[in-house]
Chain A
Amino acid sequence: MATRLTDTDVVVVGMGAVGGVAVLPLAQAGIEVIGLEAGTWLSKRDFAPDEIRNNVRDWPMAVQKANGEIPTSRATRSAPTTRAGRHPMMNAVGGTALHYWAQSWRLNPWDFKVVSETKRRYGASRIPKGSTVEDWPFGYDELEPYYDKVEYEMGVSGQAGNLNGKIDPRGNPFEGPRKRPYPMPPLRGTDFLEKMAASANTLGWHAFPGPASINSRPYQNRSACMYHGFCNQGGCHVDAKNSPLVTTIPRAQETGRLKVVTRAHVTQIEVDGEGRASGVTYVTDGVEYFQPAKVVLIASHTYENIRLLLLSKSKAYPNGLSNNHGQVGRHYFSHHQLAGVSALFPFSLNAWYGTPAQGVAVDHWADDNFDHAGLDFIGGGNLWVYSDRRPIAAASGSTWNRAPNWGSAWKAFIKENADRTNNSYLQKTTLPYEDNFVDLDPVAKDALGLPVCRITGEYKENERAIAAFIQDKMEQWYRAAGAIDVTKAPLGGAMGPSTHAYGGTRMGDNRETNVVDRWGFSHEASNLGILGGSVMGTSGARNPTLTAQALSWRTAEHLAKNFNAIASRRA
Chain B
Amino acid sequence: MSVISRRDLLKRAGLAAVVPVAGVDVARAFETAPPAAAAGPAESLVAQPQREPREHLTAAESDVLEAVVARLIPSDEHGPGAKEAKAARYIDRALGGALASSRQAYGAGLAALDRYARSSRGAAFAQLSPADQDSVLIDVETGAATGFTGSSAAFFNLVRTHTWQGTFGDPYYGGNANFVGWDLIGYPGIRTVVSAEDQRRLERHELKPNHQSAYDTEMFNKATARADEEGLLRRSSRSAGSKAGA
Partner of B76, one of A284, A396, A408: A408
- Whether A49 pairs with B192 at a CB distance below 8 angstroms is yes
Q: Which of B191-209 contact A (CB under 8 A)?
A: 191-194, 196, 198-199, 202-203
Q: Name the residue in A48, A188, A191, A228 with the highest tally of chain B Cβ atoms < 10 Å from its Cβ.
A: A48
- Whether A411 pairs with B231 at a CB distance below 8 angstroms is no
Q: Known: A40-B226, A51-B169. Is A395-B78 also a contact (CB below 8 A)?
A: no
- Whether B233 pairs with A67 at a CB distance below 8 angstroms is yes
Tell me the bound Cα distance from A68 to B160 in angstroms: 29
Please encode chain B, from 73 to 86, with 1 for each CB lying within 8 Å of some chain A CB and 0 for all others.
11010110100000
A254 at the interface (CB under 8 A from B): no
Q: Whole-angstrom distance from the CB of B179 to the nearest CB of chain A? A: 10
- Complex: chain B residue closest to A90, CB-CB: B227
A120 at the interface (CB under 8 A from B): no
B47 at the interface (CB under 8 A from A): no
- Whether B219 pairs with A91 at a CB distance below 8 angstroms is no
B25 at the interface (CB under 8 A from A): no
Chain A residues within an 8 Å CB radius of B240: 286, 447-449
Please encode chain A, from 267 to 310, with 1 for each CB lying within 8 Å of some chain B CB and 0 for all others.
00000000000000001111100000000000000000000000
- Whether A394 pairs with B187 at a CB distance below 8 angstroms is yes
Tell me the bound Cα distance from A47 to B214 in angstroms: 10
Please encode chain B, from 140 to 166, with 1 for each CB lying within 8 Å of some chain A CB and 0 for all others.
010000000000000000001100110
Chain A residues within an 8 Å CB radius of B230: 40, 263
B244 at the interface (CB under 8 A from A): no
- Whether A350 pairs with B199 at a CB distance below 8 angstroms is yes
Looking at A171-179, A318-326, A413-421, A510-518, the stretch in contact with chain B turns out to be: A413-421
A265 at the interface (CB under 8 A from B): yes
Chain A residues within an 8 Å CB radius of B191: 228, 353
Partner of B71, one of A62, A226, A238, A407: A407
Chain A residues within an 8 Å CB radius of B12: none
Chain A residues within an 8 Å CB radius of B78: 408, 411-412, 415
- Whether A65 pairs with B236 at a CB distance below 8 angstroms is yes
Please encode chain B, from 156 to 195, with 1 for each CB lying within 8 Å of some chain A CB and 0 for all others.
0000110011011110110000000110111110111110
Count the B residues whose beta carbon is within 8 Å of the partner chain — how many?
A: 60
Q: Known: A45-B219, A49-B214. Is A353-B202 also a contact (CB below 8 A)?
A: yes
B104 at the interface (CB under 8 A from A): no
- Whether B185 pairs with A395 at a CB distance below 8 angstroms is yes
Partner of A448, one of B167, B198, B236: B236
- Complex: chain A residue closest to B134, CB-CB: A407
- Whether B76 pairs with A350 at a CB distance below 8 angstroms is no
Q: Which of B1-40 contact A (CB under 8 A)?
A: none
- Whether B134 pairs with A46 at a CB distance below 8 angstroms is no
Partner of A407, one of B74, B203, B214, B220: B74
- Whether A50 pairs with B170 at a CB distance below 8 angstroms is yes
- Whether A190 pairs with B199 at a CB distance below 8 angstroms is yes
Partner of A406, one of B72, B188, B192, B198: B72
B225 at the interface (CB under 8 A from A): yes
- Whether B199 pairs with A227 at a CB distance below 8 angstroms is yes
- Whether B164 pairs with A396 at a CB distance below 8 angstroms is yes
B48 at the interface (CB under 8 A from A): no
Tell me the bound Cα distance from A527 to B225 in angstroms: 38
Please encode chain A, from 384 to 416, with 1 for each CB lying within 8 Å of some chain B CB and 0 for all others.
000000011011100000000111101110110
- Whether A52 pairs with B194 at a CB distance below 8 angstroms is no
- Whether A408 pairs with B167 at a CB distance below 8 angstroms is no
B118 at the interface (CB under 8 A from A): no
B46 at the interface (CB under 8 A from A): no
Chain B residues within an 8 Å CB radius of A412: 78
A109 at the interface (CB under 8 A from B): no
B120 at the interface (CB under 8 A from A): no
Tell me the bound Cα distance from A472 to B190 in angstroms: 36
Q: Known: A65-B232, A419-B185, A447-B240. Is A395-B221 also a contact (CB below 8 A)?
A: no
A507 at the interface (CB under 8 A from B): no
A229 at the interface (CB under 8 A from B): yes
A133 at the interface (CB under 8 A from B): no
B58 at the interface (CB under 8 A from A): no
- Whether A353 pairs with B226 at a CB distance below 8 angstroms is no
Chain A residues within an 8 Å CB radius of B169: 51-52, 56, 391-392
Main secondary structure of the interface of B (DSSP, over half): helix
Chain A residues within an 8 Å CB radius of B81: 411
- Whether B203 pairs with A415 at a CB distance below 8 angstroms is no
Tell me the bound Cα distance from A226 to B192 in angstroms: 7
Chain B residues within an 8 Å CB radius of A497: none
Tell me the bound Cα distance from A283 to B235 in angstroms: 10
A469 at the interface (CB under 8 A from B): no
- Whether A411 pairs with B184 at a CB distance below 8 angstroms is yes
Q: Whole-angstrom distance from the CB of A406 to the nearest CB of chain B? A: 5
Q: Known: A63-B233, A228-B191. Is A56-B165 also a contact (CB below 8 A)?
A: yes
- Whether B239 pairs with A286 at a CB distance below 8 angstroms is yes
Tell me the bound Cα distance from A188 to B220 in angstroms: 26
Tell me the bound Cα distance from A477 to B94 in angstroms: 42
Q: Known: A56-B165, A63-B227, A411-B81. Is A48-B239 also a contact (CB below 8 A)?
A: no
Q: Whole-angstrom distance from the CB of A291 to the nearest CB of chain B? A: 17
Chain A residues within an 8 Å CB radius of B161: 396
Partner of A92, one of B76, B221, B227: B227
Q: Known: A191-B203, A447-B240, A448-B240. Is A48-B221 also a contact (CB below 8 A)?
A: yes
Q: Known: A64-B233, A263-B230, A411-B78. Is A406-B98 also a contact (CB below 8 A)?
A: no
Partner of A45, one of B73, B164, B220: B220
Chain A residues within an 8 Å CB radius of B194: 226-229, 353
Chain A residues within an 8 Å CB radius of B215: 48, 50
Tell me the bound Cα distance from A136 to B224 in angstroms: 44
- Whether A394 pairs with B185 at a CB distance below 8 angstroms is yes
A352 at the interface (CB under 8 A from B): yes
- Whether B170 pairs with A51 at a CB distance below 8 angstroms is yes
- Whether B235 pairs with A285 at a CB distance below 8 angstroms is yes
Chain B residues within an 8 Å CB radius of A59: 225, 228
Q: Known: A56-B169, A394-B187, A405-B160. Is A353-B199 also a contact (CB below 8 A)?
A: yes
Tell me the bound Cα distance from A63 to B236 in angstroms: 12
- Whether B198 pairs with A353 at a CB distance below 8 angstroms is yes
Tell me the bound Cα distance from A448 to B225 in angstroms: 24
Q: Known: A227-B194, A407-B134. Is A391-B168 also a contact (CB below 8 A)?
A: yes
- Whether B192 pairs with A42 at a CB distance below 8 angstroms is no
- Whether B190 pairs with A46 at a CB distance below 8 angstroms is no
Q: Whole-angstrom distance from the CB of A469 to the nearest CB of chain B? A: 33
Q: Whole-angstrom distance from the CB of A210 to the nearest CB of chain B? A: 18
Chain A residues at the B interface, C-beta cutoff of 8 Å: 38-40, 42, 44-53, 56-57, 59, 62-65, 67-68, 91-92, 188, 190-191, 226-229, 237-238, 263, 265, 283-287, 348, 350, 352-353, 391-392, 394-396, 405-408, 410-412, 414-415, 418-419, 447-449
The 4 closest A-B pairs by CB, nearest first: A286-B239, A418-B185, A48-B220, A353-B194
Sample 9 A-B pairs with CB under 8 A, ordered by A number: A39-B227, A46-B220, A53-B225, A63-B225, A228-B192, A350-B202, A353-B194, A405-B141, A411-B73
Given contacts A188-B199, A394-B187, list 5 more A-B pairs with CB under 8 A: A45-B220, A191-B203, A353-B191, A406-B71, A408-B76
